[in-house]
Chain A
Amino acid sequence: EDQVTQSPEALRLQEGESSSLNCSYTVSGLRGLFWYRQDPGKGPEFLFTLYSAGEEKEKERLKATLTKKESFLHITAPKPEDSATYLCAVQARAGNNRKLIWGLGTSLAVNP
């Protein structure tokens, strides 16, 4: 069964304190792995898509990496406005349905 596990469940950082979030996955053929940011009461906001092991994407203070079994979201020198829940999702290669299979998310709080 396709599955996504994120860790830690919650993370509290001081402003400027870099860290990484983990997303482990099992899927019957990976089409793509996605990172989203979600603020309370809002829909997920797209961050990155990764397709193959070794791929990296960067955006401002965020960098996403992918291996055959997991992905990391590295946050460099975070600011309070980076506080949110970060969700990881995968798409399986099989079939035409592009539905996303989600982890439970990591709740990040950045203190000033």
Chain B
Amino acid sequence: DTGVSQDPRHKITKRGQNVTFRCDPISEHNRLYWYRQTLGQGPEFLTYFQNEAQLEKSRLLSDRFSAERPKGSFSTLEIQRTEQGDSAMYLCASSLITTDTQYFGPGTRLTVL
């Protein structure tokens, strides 16, 4: 069990560019969550998958954000036309259906210039 992994760990981009992040959950974990965290704040829920189905997306989430989990394993989070306000740490977590505990990856730090 290698834990949740995320790639890249850091991303610097210019405003208006598209970025994509990848999350590999703990193997056999059915649920996968994306959160966003800014400095001094707790994580904010973005979206959630159960296997390959995206079951909920935060109403706060702009249409510029999209997430996929095509085979029920890894997931990608894409941000189109990035804005400076998108600068944050993007966290991925996974869990089993049978338990409630979520295990987090190291995060991807996004900086939009």
Contact = CB atoms under 8 A, between A and B. Distances in A.
A89 B42 contact: yes
A91 B45 CA distance: 12
Contacts, number: 64
A78 interface: no
Contacts of B6: 43
A59 interface: no
Contact of B100 (A41, A45, A91): A91
Contacts of B106: 42-43
A45 B109 contact: no
Given A42-B107, A45-B104, A99 B33 contact: yes
A36 B37 CA distance: 14
Contacts of A100: 33, 35, 43, 45, 102
A32 B56 CA distance: 19
B103 interface: yes
Interface residues of A, number: 25
Contact of B105 (A43, A97, A98, A101): A43
Interface in B67-104: 89, 91, 93, 95, 100-104
Contact of A43 (B31, B45, B107): B107
Given A87-B42, A97-B48, A99-B45, A44 B56 contact: no
A101 B104 CA distance: 15
A100 B91 CA distance: 12
A99 to B, nearest CB: 4
Interface of B: 4, 6, 31, 33, 35, 40-45, 48, 50, 55-56, 89, 91, 93, 95, 100-107, 109
Interface of A: 4, 31-32, 34, 36, 41-46, 49, 87, 89, 91, 96-105
21 contacts: A34-B100, A34-B101, A36-B104, A41-B89, A41-B107, A41-B109, A42-B106, A43-B106, A44-B104, A46-B101, A49-B101, A97-B48, A97-B56, A98-B48, A100-B33, A100-B43, A101-B45, A102-B43, A103-B42, A104-B40, A104-B42
